[in-house]
A and B are shown apart, each in its own frame.
Chain A
Amino acid sequence: MHLAYPAVLAVLLFCTGLYGVLARRNAILVLMSVELMLNAVNLNLVAFDVWLRDALHAGQALTLFTIAIAAAEIGIGLAIVLAVYRNRGSSDIDRLRDTAETDDAETLPDDADAARDSTADQATAPAGKAKKAEATA
C-alpha cells in the first residue's frame, strides 16, 4: 500500500479536529474534536510502524499508550466540564472568561446576555475581583 494514503488521511482527520477545537462552543464538542486529533496521530503511528517494520514495534506500543491516555484524558476532562457546568449552569467555553486579564474582556460575547446580566451584576458584585472569587463558590 502506498504510504501517502494513511498519511494524507491522518492529516485530513487532524485538520478536521483542529477546526472543531477552534470553532466549537460546547466544551464536550471540543473534547470530541480532540479525540479526532488523537486518532489521526494514532493512525500515523500505526502506518509508520508497519512501514518501518520496527523490531520493538514502538509505533504500535505508543498507539496503545495513547489510547489509554486518551481515555484518562476524556475522564478528567468530562469531570472538569461537569464541575464547571454545576457551578456556572453552562458549558459554553466562550463564557468562561474569568481568567481574562482586563475587566473589558470579562463581558460576555453576546450582548443580550450581557444586558440581562448587567443589572444583577451591578447589584451584587461591582468589582471584577469579587466576581472571580464568587465564580469558585
Chain B
Amino acid sequence: MTLAATAGHPGFLSPTGVEIAFVLVGLVTFGAALITVTTKQLVHAALWLVVALGGIAVEYLLLTAEFIAWVQVLIYVGSIVVLLLFGLMLTRAPIGRSPDADSGNRGLALGVAVASAAALVWVVVDAFRTTWINLEGPAQGSTKASGEFLFRHWVLPFEALSVLLLAALVGAIVLSRKEGKDGKDPGGGVGAKGSKGGPRGKDRHVMRDRTDRTDREDRTARTARTYRTDRQEQSAASREDMS
C-alpha cells in the first residue's frame, strides 16, 4: 500500500491545483444538489440534478478515474435524468411552482440531515486528517486499465449484472403494461367479488376504455378515490343495462 508520504506534504495551507479544482467543482456539485432537493419546481429539480451528476463526473476525472467519469456522463446524465424527466412528464408534474413539493416533516428531515452530516464530517475529517492520495503515475482508471481489471477479475459479476439488467427490463415492462391481453386483470380482486362470469371480462375492458377517454381531461384534477367511485357507478350502470 503506497500511502503518500505525509512528511513531505505541505498540508492544507498550500493546496495543489488539483485540490483547488476539486474543491471548486465540489462546491458547485453540492450547491446543485442542495437546489435539487429544495426547489419547488419539479422540472428544475431534474435539471439541477444534471449539474450535480456532471460535477461528480468531473470529480471522477480529477481522481484519474476516466472510464467511470464517462460512464457517469453516459448513464446518469444521458439516460437516468431523461428517464426522470419522462416520469415527471407522465405523472403530469406542474411546470410552474408547486407549493406542495415538500411534505410536512421538513423540519424533522432537516434536523436528521444536519445531524448526520455533522457527525459524519467530524468522523471522516478526524479519521483521514493525515492521509493523502497519490495521483502520480499512470491513470488508475483509464479505459485500458478498466477493461483489464473488469474482464480479468470481475467477469462473473459482470455477467450476473447483465442478467440482472434483463430481469429489470422485463420487470419494468410487466409493471408498466396496462393490462393482460387475455382479459386477465392484474388487480382483479374487486371485479371477482360481484361478477357472475360470462361476458363480464370483455365488458369491463370496453367500459374502462370509455371511462379513460371521457375522463382524460380532468383526471388529474380528481383524486383517485373519486375516480374509483365514478368507475363503480358506471360499472353498476352497465350491469343494469346488461340485465
Q: How far is the CA of A53 from the CA of B135 in the complex (A)?
A: 10
Identify which of B33, B64, B168 contacts A16 (C-beta below 8 A).
Answer: B33
Dominant secondary structure at the A interface: helix
| B-facing residues in A52-73 (Cβ within 8 Å) | 52-53, 56-57, 60-61, 63-65, 67-73
Q: Are B103 and A89 in contact (CB under 8 A)?
A: no
Given contacts A23-B110, A82-B90, contact A35 B76 (CB under 8 A): yes
How does the 8 Å CB contact mask read for A23-64 relative to B, with 1 for contact and 0 for none?
Answer: 111101101110110010011001101111100110011011
Q: Are A39 and B42 in contact (CB under 8 A)?
A: no
- Contact of A113 with B223 in the complex, beta carbons under 8 Å: yes
B90 A67 Cβ-Cβ under 8 A: no
Give the number of residues in A that approach B within 8 Å (Cβ atoms).
Answer: 86
Point out the residues of chain B lying under 8 angstroms from A90, CB to CB.
223-224
B120 touches A23 (CB 8 A): no
**How many chain B residues have a CB neighbour from A under 8 Å?**
111
Proximity string of chain B (178-204) to chain A, C-beta cutoff 8 Å, 1 when within and 0 when not:
100000010111110100000000000
Contact of A6 among B22, B34, B76, B102 (CB under 8 A): B22
- Which B residues are in CB contact (< 8 Å) with A24? 37, 101-103
Which residues on B sit within 8 Å (CB–CB) of A39? Answer: 52-53, 56, 76
Q: Footprint of A on B, CB under 8 Å?
A: 1-2, 12, 15-16, 18-19, 22-23, 26, 29-30, 33-34, 36-37, 42, 45-46, 49, 52-53, 56, 59-60, 62-65, 67-68, 71-72, 75-76, 79-80, 83-84, 86-88, 90-91, 93, 100-106, 108-110, 112-114, 116-117, 120-121, 124-125, 128-129, 131-135, 140-141, 145-146, 149-150, 153-154, 157-158, 161, 164-165, 167-169, 171-173, 175-176, 178, 185, 187-191, 193, 219-220, 222-229, 232
10 A/B residue pairs, CB under 8 Å, sorted by A: A2-B132, A8-B121, A16-B36, A20-B36, A23-B105, A28-B93, A67-B76, A75-B83, A81-B87, A136-B190
Identify the A interface with B (CB < 8 A). 1-9, 11-20, 22-26, 28-29, 31-33, 35-36, 39, 42-43, 46-47, 49-53, 56-57, 60-61, 63-65, 67-76, 78-83, 85-94, 109, 113, 116-117, 120-121, 123-124, 133-134, 136-137
